[in-house]
Amino acid sequence: MASPEPPRITVVGSINMDVSARTPSLPAPGETVAGTDLVLGRGGKGANQAVAAARAGGRVRFVGAVGDDAFAPDLRASLRTEGVDVATLRTAPGASGVAVVTVDDAAENTIVVVAGANDALTELGADDVAAIEGADVLLLQLEIPVPTVVAAAEAARRGGTTVFLNPSPVRPVPDALLDAVDVLVVNESEHHALGDAVDRTPHVVTTLGARGARHRGPDGAVVEVPAPRVRAVDTTGAGDAFTGALAVAWRDGPEAALRRAVVGGALATTRSGIAAPTAADIDAAAGELA
């Protein structure tokens, strides 16, 4: 029996160069602390989720923007190396997006993001819309201009594409966007901040950190899936690894997708930096838990 075709995932979102510093403890306001390591990585929630989905077995297209600076060729190549289609990754004048990340020995982090070229993604072209309408799943976040996120979601709705929204950084979500979302993916603080707005989407997936994740379906039924126990080294990007794996597995049903996603998110914390696991990693860990 032939294997099913990989799900087609289009991500419309941000891409950044991450400048990450490791330190024993996060600095308090006004405090200077000594760091122990400095790493340049590739990030942005959009790019992170695109890479996570590609590693989890999806066929991924990325719609976004980089600058015309020294970081841009590396950022573009980083997606291509992961098998992500970058035909719709445009170049905008000026700097690429940059994130400054600090990680402590307890695996907690702080992040400051400078949007750069991500703010130039103010409209969708015909190729962008075609990529959205031709996908099985559209992944969205809120690190690019919100009107562009709305336009992408509405294009997906017209094309019959399932719309995932990870509303991060959290902010009020326009009604037009909520009306087009099929699956809302939030952590506990985002769930609380959005209040009653979460009740407007058919599916709500809430990540619970080390406790796993919860799914609430259109009929109100709730399922919780525990996360595997791992030794966390760095939580940076774990939520994006979760979301990418969830999107790829969604066609198998919410509960099955949730089980793969919690494994993917947990495995991502066992390595430093943005480290989404592969489909084989997820298969192996899920098999050990079965």
Distances (CA, A) of 79 to 40, 56, 73: 15, 14, 10
pLDDT at 183: 98
pLDDT at 107: 80
Residue ranges for the binding site for K(+)?
234, 236, 268, 271, 273
pLDDT at 115: 95
pLDDT at 273: 62
Residue ranges for the binding site for substrate?
16-18, 44-48, 143, 240
The token duo for 94 is 């000026």
Single out the residue of 42, 29, 93, 49 nearest to residue 245, CA to CA: 49
pLDDT at 62: 98
pLDDT at 235: 77
Q: Burial level of 108, CB count in 10 A (0-12/13-18/19+)?
A: middle
pLDDT at 288: 66
Tell if the pTM clears 0.95, that is, is over it. no
pLDDT at 2: 56
Q: Is the Cβ–Cβ distance between 197 and 212 less than 8 Å?
A: no
Determine phi and psi for 274, rounding to 5 degrees.
-80, 110
Q: Is the Cβ–Cβ distance between 284 and 260 less than 8 Å?
A: no
Does residue 55 sit in helix, strand or coil? Answer: helix
The token duo for 246 is 């969830």
- The highest-level CATH class for domain 8-13+44-96+118-289 is alpha beta
Residue ranges for the binding site?
16-18, 44-48, 143, 187, 207-212, 234, 236, 239-240, 268, 271, 273
Distance (Å, whole) CA 102 – CA 84? 27
Distance (Å, whole) CA 246 – CA 249? 5
- Amino acid letter, residue 14: S
In angstroms, the first-to-last Cα distance of the chain is: 24
Distance (Å, whole) CA 247 – CA 261? 9
Distances (CA, A) of 174 to 31, 142, 179, 187, 226: 38, 11, 9, 19, 32
Q: Is the Cβ–Cβ distance between 270 and 144 less than 8 Å?
A: no
Which residue in the list 85, 182, 240, 281 is annotated as catalytic? Answer: 240
- The verdict on whether 105 is a catalytic residue reads no
Domain ranges in the chain?
Answer: 8-13+44-96+118-289
Single out the residue of 89, 9, 96 nearest to residue 57, CA to CA: 9
Q: Burial level of 96, CB count in 10 A (0-12/13-18/19+)?
A: buried
Distance (Å, whole) CA 35 – CA 166? 31
What residue ranges of the chain have pLDDT lower than 70? 1-3, 273-274, 287-290
Q: Is the Cβ–Cβ distance between 208 and 239 less than 8 Å?
A: no
Q: Is the Cβ–Cβ distance between 123 and 90 less than 8 Å?
A: no
